[in-house]
Amino acid sequence: METRAAVIAIIVENNESATEINALLHEYSDSIIGRMGIPYREKGISIISVAIDATQDTISSLAGKIGRIKGVTAKTVYSPAETNK
């Protein structure tokens, strides 16, 4: 099945959600290329970016699960689908 690269941008307003987010990221760790987390103390939020290479279904599943966590927002940007060259 074809995979795509994507970045999931996550805004965490509720720091108590960190354990649940980390558990999901661990569950999908085989597909994760890398991640970066930045605490933005002045605004009381954390910003996490997750680079992933997986099927579109897998990426959507992870982003959806993260986005359903209370106090968390997630948006995904996909690379273009591969084309025959």
The pLDDT tens digits for 51-84 are 999 999 999 999 999 999 999 999 999 998 765 4
Contact predicate 8/78, CB 8 Å? no
Task: Determine the pLDDT at residue 85.
Answer: 46
pLDDT at 82: 65
**What are 29's two structure tokens?**
């760790």
The predicted model scores a pTM of: 0.90
Question: Which bin fits 80, alpha (ψ -120 to 50), beta or left (φ > 0)?
Answer: beta
* Residues of the chain above pLDDT 70, percent: 95
Task: Tell me what the mean pLDDT of segment 40-56 comes to.
Answer: 96
Domain 4-78, CATH: 3.30.70.1150
The model's pLDDT over 70-79, given as tens digits with 9 standing for 90+, comes to 999 999 999 9
- Which tokens go with 81? 């689908």
